[in-house]
Amino acid sequence: MDTSNTTDLMPSPPMSSMASPSSEPPAGLLTVPLEIRLQIYSYLLEVPEFSPYTLPSKKAPVAGALLRTNRQINWEATPYLYAHNTFVAHPTLLTSFPRLRPNVRPVSDSYAVSLIHRFHLTVHLDSDLPFDAEALTKSFTGTEELTLHLVQSMFCGAGYANLRQFEGIRGVKRVTIEGSTTGLEDYIEWLRKTMMSEPDAPMEEFKHETVTLTDRLARGYLA
């Protein structure tokens, strides 16, 4: 399916505002038990977790036509699509207008966005961030998964100052921090534990230090 058709992946409104699914004639897929239908949805709607190292595909990664089969399948499969995949966070608006893949049109429907709880965000360590700590905390606290991909223009050329904007995030079930992590391992491990802690859980403060390029060379990071 061409990516130009991805805007057809329109979710249905909550069930309370829809006609009863049983009011429609049964389709073949609806004759099998729900647990089997969910397994089928996993084959058609789940895609591998996003990686910036994967070449973009010219085709949409999911069988979006499934959502247009009938009302009940849309009601069952729409939450599955959005809840079981990792979406690329918007570079400035974060959890608003996320994309399943960078070359796929963003999700703009508020109901669909509310179903997304797995995000991938690229973080530039050596330039000003286009968002602040408050926006990050509001966007990602309590999410199921958060992957931060760190990039910088020069190897070990920046510290973790930009990552400190993420320190207010809490309650994430799984945090992955990858990419340009050399020399920042201790802080990154502390930050992971902090973001995965409960909102009211006491956390020992990280002992910040200024590490120069000479220090990193002496420690063997640039060897």
Residues 100-158 have pLDDT tens digits of 998 889 999 999 999 999 999 999 999 999 999 999 999 999 999 999 999 999 988 89
CA-nearest of 71, 61, 88, 56 to 6 is 61
| Mean pLDDT over each residue of the chain, to the nearest integer | 85
Asked whether 20 and 117 are in contact (CB, 8 A), the reply is no
Distance CA 216, CA 214 (A): 5
The structure tokens listed for 219 are: 């420690």
- Burial string for 123-137 (b: 16+ CB within 10 Å, else e) reads bbbeeebebeeebbb
Q: pLDDT tier at 214 (50, 70, 90 boundaries)?
A: low
**Rounded to 10 degrees, what is the CA torsion of 38, 40, 43, 49?**
-10
Locate tokens 């997304």: which residue? 116
Residues 158-190 have pLDDT tens digits of 999 999 999 999 999 999 999 999 999 999 999
Q: How would DSSP label each residue in 17-65?
A: GS--GGGSPP-GGGGS-HHHHHHHHHHHH--PPP-TTSPPPSB-SS-GG
What is the predicted pLDDT for the residue at 103? 85
Distances (CA, A) of 152 to 70, 161, 192: 47, 13, 20
CA-nearest of 209, 91, 208, 216 to 157 is 216
Residue 128, SS3?
Answer: coil
CA-nearest of 151, 94, 157, 92 to 124 is 151
Asked whether 119 and 48 are in contact (CB, 8 A), the reply is no
What is the predicted pLDDT for the residue at 172? 98
40 has pLDDT over 80: yes
pTM of the entire predicted model? 0.80
CA-nearest of 103, 105, 120 to 57 is 103
- Burial string for 82-120 (b: 16+ CB within 10 Å, else e) reads bebbbbbbbeeebbebbbbbeebbbbeeeebbebbbbbb
39 has pLDDT over 60: yes
Longest dimension (CA), the chain: 72
